[in-house]
Structure 1
Amino acid sequence: MELHDNMKPEVQPICAAQQRLSKKKDDLADPVDYRDVVVDEITAHLNSTMKFGGVDEEEDRTSPAKAAGSSLRFTEVKRDSENVRFRLAYGAIHVDGTVLDPEDATYEQKLRGKATVFPYRASLIAREGHTRGILAIEVRGRSCPLTAVVRGLKMASDVPWRLKPFANLADRSAMENFIRRGEIVGARFEKWSFESDGQPKRRAVEMAVHTKIENERVKKRAARWFRSYYGFEEPLDDLDVELSNEKLDPRAQAKAMRDDIFTSTVDIEFDTVSLDVLSDGVKKTISPASDFRKFTYILGTDEVSDGTFYHQCEQTAELMLGRVQKLDLS
């Protein structure tokens, strides 16, 4: 994510942000480290309830009922080495519903206009010399209060400093790791007949291989489909450099995969190819034409300690920091 002075378009380095004092180009305040500033700002608003209208889709998944906005409280903030760690409570404001005590020890309570909140943890990871940082936020089920946290940080700021998020980088990184660490357990090749306008009409030929495919080139191509979709196009090693010369259209990739997978000659010009990837008991099917926004990483089933959560998310974010500086996130 990027840091801005309110709605001004200039991106401010997170560790050396300068507030614009007037319309003059060079009339800037002394640089400040936003990591220190945000600790002071949130400390001044700890346990204050922030109310927002509207709930984003990714935030409104903890309740089957329609929400009438959301509430947020920051309960703890501290600078830990180069990162800023947050604890917060967040939840949707109900439009209806009732709280019942199964033991009948207390009277029922109407939920209309009230929020049911759950605890979350978050960490802001930024480094000197980098313009962008990463805000890692805990997920419960499929609910993640990214938008609410960003709005809350702005609400607590006097400037106000505003973080502009580019969401779901964790999904992208985790999906790339899923491909790299997984096993290719199947491949499916298809040749289509086409209408006069170029639209596929029907499958003319289909050929499938259902077995473990121990071929590093195949896995590298699959990872490249994903990286290309999100703009992660930089080659990572010599094999990546070699494969980067291949066209990424489905037909070209089908030909390349066919030549790598089949040991005997298969003289068919396939139009598409897809791969079955298995990792930790979960199988996903991907192709050069996949909409990778619909792929989600595997969620854990157990709660983790603070030490584990912060260590894992901050370590992963540090590995991603260098890459996100160069991404076209427009």
Structure 2
Amino acid sequence: MNEDHGQSPTIVVQIGGKERMATTYGYRLFKVELREGFGRSSVDFSKCKDEHYLDVASRLLQLLMSTQVGRPLLRNNLSIEDEIDPPEGEVETFSGQKAFQVISEKKIQWAIYGEVFAGLFSEYEVALGVPGRTEDRELGDHAPSKRFRFALILPEEGTAGVLVVEVIGRTCPVDLITRWLAYCSQQQALAEEIDEENDKEFRPARAKAARWWRPVAQAMMDNDRLLQIIKEGRFGSVELVKHEIQSDRTRQKVKFKLKAPAVDEGVVKEVTAAIKTWFNERLPSDTADVRKISSNKDGAKTLAAIFGADVANLDFDDGWVQVEDEAGRPTNISPSRMSEIFTYPLSVGKKVDDETFYYRARVTYGQLSIAAKIDVEWPELGKTV
């Protein structure tokens, strides 16, 4: 170990449950661009065939107002006849799958405001009823879900928009929103390519002609917020993890974990430098395609090296630094988790109203829009405090 740092990671074994904290609420902001199919070039939102993408998205969101299961696959040979839901009766296949459903969508000028349900099958076994009022309910084939608000604001013409998504605890369903929008767009495009009279079965070769749209969301990074976190020194632990592949080669499990319970003054400078590097790698850049973006394994190597050769030689494949936000909520930072520290807190224990939620998000957008190179007209929802 490197004695100069005065810090020794220790193996931590957790026994029993965690102390439950009140639910925190906040939001994240994302820069949104549009791709045609699997293309890498940005598409003008006003040039989706003969309509604006906002109209396309509104129509697709309406199609998603029923429960969707899992994370849909986007592939060129996807048949429009593939079933989205697991076969009826095979409840065990739902276990661990994400559930997603659009509750509402409302188009206002160049924005869509909406809400979605997101949850996880088999996360809980039973919903206990109120004594004398409601019965207990088995949840084996139900996914307890939370309601999340979102807003998609796009330019009338241009290639950069903004997506704000509510965060509850540490959950933010941005990937479900963008992925299901892309999947539905692909399915519609493939359906349009089929001549119903002469071509009853899908032929993969025809998928190349189908034009569909894929929204891409990138977290809007806030340098001032990062510097404030570093300045206040809200660092907690540093954790390093080594995984091993299960026998079926489809899952990983933790082989062992090392944890430095606190970041002392001896390593603050090096931990800060690592975080700044990960942050800068994720910033928008004209040369983004040729820059090296660190993986979580790269980040683990960087953190392990801070504690000397003995730790670095253990070949960790994941690692993170824990920090606390303004609400005292711990958040893990690694190369792929950078967006988590850019969750803007709103309340603890109780949601704020819609007007406050969207107003606060709009103010934050105003602070970040120039650096993110986004220029949209954000429709107000009445509250202008």
1:149-178 deviation per Cα after TM superposition (whole angstroms, max 9, x unaligned): 112223443234221233xx25x32x6335
Q: Find the residue that maps to 1:113 and give its secondary structure.
A: coil
- Partner of 1:73 in structure 2? 101
Distance 1:123 1:313, change over 3 A: same
Distance 1:293 1:89, change over 3 A: closer
- Partner of 1:91 in structure 2? 119
Q: Find the residue that maps to 1:139 and give its secondary structure.
A: strand
Distance 1:36 1:207, change over 3 A: closer
Distance 1:78 1:283, change over 3 A: closer
Contact 1:67 / 1:94 at 8 angstroms: preserved in 2? yes
Q: Find the residue that maps to 2:58 and give its secondary structure.
A: helix
Contact 1:131 / 1:325 at 8 angstroms: preserved in 2? no
Q: Find the residue that maps to 2:133 and give its secondary structure.
A: coil
Distance 1:313 1:224, change over 3 A: same
1:303 aligns with 2:334: no
Stretches of structure 1 that go unaligned for 5 or more consecutive residues are 19-28, 55-65, 187-205, 209-220, 235-276, 285-289
Structure 1 segment 46-85 matched on structure 2, within 5 A:
47-53=65-71, 68-85=96-113
Distance 1:305 1:182, change over 3 A: farther
Distance 1:104 1:162, change over 3 A: farther
Distance 2:166 2:113 in 1: 12
Structure 1 segment 122-137 matched on structure 2, within 5 A:
122-137=150-165
User: How far has the Cα of 1:322 moved from its partner?
Assistant: 4.2
Q: Find the residue that maps to 2:167 and give its secondary structure.
A: coil
Distance 1:207 1:50 in 2: 48
User: How far has the Cα of 1:293 moved from its partner?
Assistant: 4.3
Identity within the alignment, %: 19
1:16 aligns with 2:46: yes
Distance 1:50 1:318, change over 3 A: farther
Distance 1:80 1:318, change over 3 A: farther
Q: Find the residue that maps to 1:68 and give its secondary structure.
A: coil
1:2 aligns with 2:39: no
TM-score (norm 2): 0.47
Distance 1:283 1:48, change over 3 A: closer
- Partner of 2:295 in structure 1? none
Distance 1:11 1:311, change over 3 A: same
Contact 1:227 / 1:233 at 8 angstroms: preserved in 2? no
Distance 1:278 1:88, change over 3 A: closer
Distance 1:138 1:82, change over 3 A: same
Q: Find the residue that maps to 1:138 and give its secondary structure.
A: strand
Q: Find the residue that maps to 1:307 and give its secondary structure.
A: helix
Q: Find the residue that maps to 1:154 and give its secondary structure.
A: helix
- Partner of 1:323 in structure 2? 371
Which residue identity is paired with 2:69?
A: K
Query: What RMSD, in angstroms, separates the aligned Cα atoms of the two structures?
Result: 4.6
User: How far has the Cα of 1:140 moved from its partner?
Assistant: 0.5
Distance 1:69 1:226, change over 3 A: closer
Pick from 42, 54, 60 the counterpart of residue 35 of structure 1. 54
Contact 2:46 / 2:158 at 8 angstroms: preserved in 1? no
Based on CA coordinates, which of the two structures has the bigger radius of gyration?
Answer: 1
Distance 2:157 2:233 in 1: 43
Distance 2:365 2:162 in 1: 6
Which residue identity is paired with 1:16?
A: S
Which residue identity is paired with 2:53?
A: Y
Count of aligned pairs between the two proteins: 230
